[in-house]
Amino acid sequence: MPFLELRDGAQLFYKDWGNPNGSIITFSHGWPLSSDNWENQMFFLADRGYRVIAHDRRGHGRSTQTWSGNNMDTFVDDLEELFKYLGVKDAIMVGHSHGGGEVTHYLGKYGTGRFKKAVLVGAVPPLMLKTSTNAEGTDKSVFDSFRQSMIQDRAQFFLDVPTGPFFGFNRPGATKSEGQIRSWWQQGMNTSFKSAYDSITDFSETDFTEDLKNIDIPVLVLHGDDDQVVPIEASGLKSAKLLPQGMLKIYPGGSHAIHNINIDEVNNDLLKFAQS
């Protein structure tokens, strides 16, 4: 398995699939998952001649379980090291949920020199937390309950999330996939407790507003209008307006995990955007 040794000695696991000479598309995963959560999109695009790259964020998946550095600045610094090492250029950057924040902050901090387009899928920007200036956000008590649930029984909490709101399996008439639930649980439990715990603050309290305003490439925003984890009113709708070249596609009835549930539609949207 390929690993990159980072500046602090941590090992970053990554996948580099498909045509080594093909156009590059990178993927950033959500909380508390790993690059495995993107396997349907990666296989689909690699099978069509693209070079697809995804990493396990530090503390997640197969990467080193560092005690500190579980924050957005460190995460995007890791990405820049990876992209430099792999020679990423003229590429498309894709991120889901927390990974959408990673994409946004990377482009805000390092600029768009390596990338020509980006895609945000059910992404957390501009700000998840409810504040005096962000009335559509989620109250801090919700994120406090996440942390408390982890402390009380992380294994059960990481079963409750995919069984319910993450995939929308708690909605009437939903077709529940036991496989999706088990995969989510396995990925989550492979993430270090400290990284998963710290990342709750990172994805909920990081304000990406200025990053969004400074991204000078086309950005496709894909969001389900029944996203129970990152409600579209506080995220996708706002991000599309803040982005200078933002384009929004709403998935009617779509959950937080549209790339895992609406697989064919998301795959085709990514391919169409890449080809445009």
Cα gap 214→202, rounded to integer Å: 20
Find the catalytic residue in 34, 97, 192, 204.
97
29 catalytically annotated: no
Using one digit for the tens of pLDDT, what is the confidence trace for 32-62? 999 999 999 999 999 999 999 999 999 999 9
Residues 102-131, mean pLDDT to the nearest whole number: 98
Find the catalytic residue in 29, 105, 223, 256.
256
Cα gap 257→68, rounded to integer Å: 28
Is the bond leading into 165 cis (omega within 30 degrees of zero)?
no
Cα gap 272→230, rounded to integer Å: 25
The answer, yes or no, to whether residue 1 has pLDDT greater than 90, is: no
Residue from 98, 46, 60, 65 nearest 202 by CA: 98
Find the catalytic residue in 78, 211, 227, 269.
227
**List of domains in the chain:** 3-275 (3.40.50.1820)
139 catalytically annotated: no
> DSSP letters of 139-168?
-HHHHHHHHHHHHHHHHHHHHHHHHTTTTT
| pLDDT level of residue 255 (50, 70, 90 thresholds) | very high
Close Cβ partners of 111 (under 8 Å, ≥ 6 residues apart) = none
97 catalytically annotated: yes
Q: What is the per-residue pLDDT for 140?
A: 97
